[in-house]
Amino acid sequence: MALIYKLVGFDRVTEALAVTHDIPRNKVSQAKRIAGIADRRGIIADWPLSLDQARAITDLIGAKIDVDHLDWALEPYTLPNTVEAE
């Protein structure tokens, strides 16, 4: 199963998805390290992030967003077998 990762932000009041940013394939390992899951290969679920982790990942991927007002997660998504991933 091929996975891609996204940094996602949720509205704290409604819990609705508010922001999503793809993690470039060449930055996934660093993003997983920041999230604290680099050595947990079996994790294929949303991983909640602290504000500091979200800030570090936005800096890593060059996203210009204010992380303070949302709840954040690193989310894996499966891809069809024909698409390259991590």
The pLDDT assigned to 77 comes to: 86
Helices (H), the chain: 28-35, 51-61
Domains and CATH numbers, the chain: 2-79 (3.10.50.20)
pLDDT in tens, 20-69: 999 999 999 999 999 998 776 666 668 899 999 999 999 999 998 888 89
Helices (H) and strands (E) in the chain, counts: 2, 4
Cα of 36 vs its chain's centroid, Å: 12
Is the pLDDT assigned to residue 71 strictly greater than 60?
yes
Q: pTM for the full model?
A: 0.82
The pLDDT assigned to 15 comes to: 92
